Amino acid sequence: MHTIGITGGVGSGKSAILAYIKEHYNCRIILADVAARHLEEPGEVCYAPIVALLGEDILQEDGTIQNTKMASKIFADKELLQQVNAIVHPAVKEYVRQELQKEAKRGVYDFFFLEAALLIEEHYDTILDELWYIYTREDIRRVRLMESRGYSEEKIHQIIEGQLSEELFRKHCSTVIDNSNAIEDAYKQIDDKLGAYLC
C-alpha cells in the first residue's frame, strides 16, 4: 500500500482531485479536517481537553461542541488558537498513524491518501511515502473562491497570505499536480503517476 499526502493552497481544487481518485482507485482517503471533528466528539480524545480549555459555553444542548462558538473564541485569541491546535494536531496525526497501520495490516487497498492543509507544517512526510502539491495559478484560485464560496477579495487575500508560499509547497512535495487548466488534464497527471505504481 502506497501512502500519499495531498496538500495545496485554498481554491486549488483538492476536493475535485480526491473525488476523482476515490472513484477510480482502490484507496482509503482521510481528510484531516473530518478526522479532527471526529476526535472532538464526546468521548473522543480531544473533547475533554477542549471543553476544559474553552469552557462549557461552547457546547450545544446535546453536549457536542458547537463549531461556530469554538471558532469565534479561538480566532479572536491567538494564544487560545495555539492551545487548541496543540491538542488537536498531535491527536489527528496519531489517529492517521493508527489508521495507516490498520490498513497496512488489512492489505485491502492499493493506496492510502491523507488530505491536510498543514501536511508540511505537521511533518507528515515522516509517516507517509510522499507528498503531493495540488498547484493552481493564484488568479484562478481567486476567481474560484469568489464564485463558489462568495469570498471577498480581502478575505481571499488574508487566507492566501496565511498559507505557505508556492516555493515552500514545491520544496517539500515530490509530486506537483498542475490543476490550472482543464480538470481532465489534472486527471491524466494522476493516472500517469498512480498507474506507474500499479504496473
pLDDT tens digits for 37-69? Answer: 999 999 999 999 999 999 999 999 999 999 898
Handedness of CA 119, 125, 131, 136 (dihedral sign): positive
pLDDT at 148: 81
pLDDT at 149 over 90: no
Question: Cα(41)–Cα(46) distance, rounded to whole angstroms?
Answer: 8
**pLDDT digit string (tens) for 120-138?**
999 999 999 999 999 999 9
Question: If we measure between CA atoms, which residue out of 36, 40, 60 comes closest to residue 50?
Answer: 40
Question: Cα(2)–Cα(117) distance, rounded to whole angstroms?
Answer: 20
Say what the pTM is: 0.91
pLDDT at 162 over 90: no
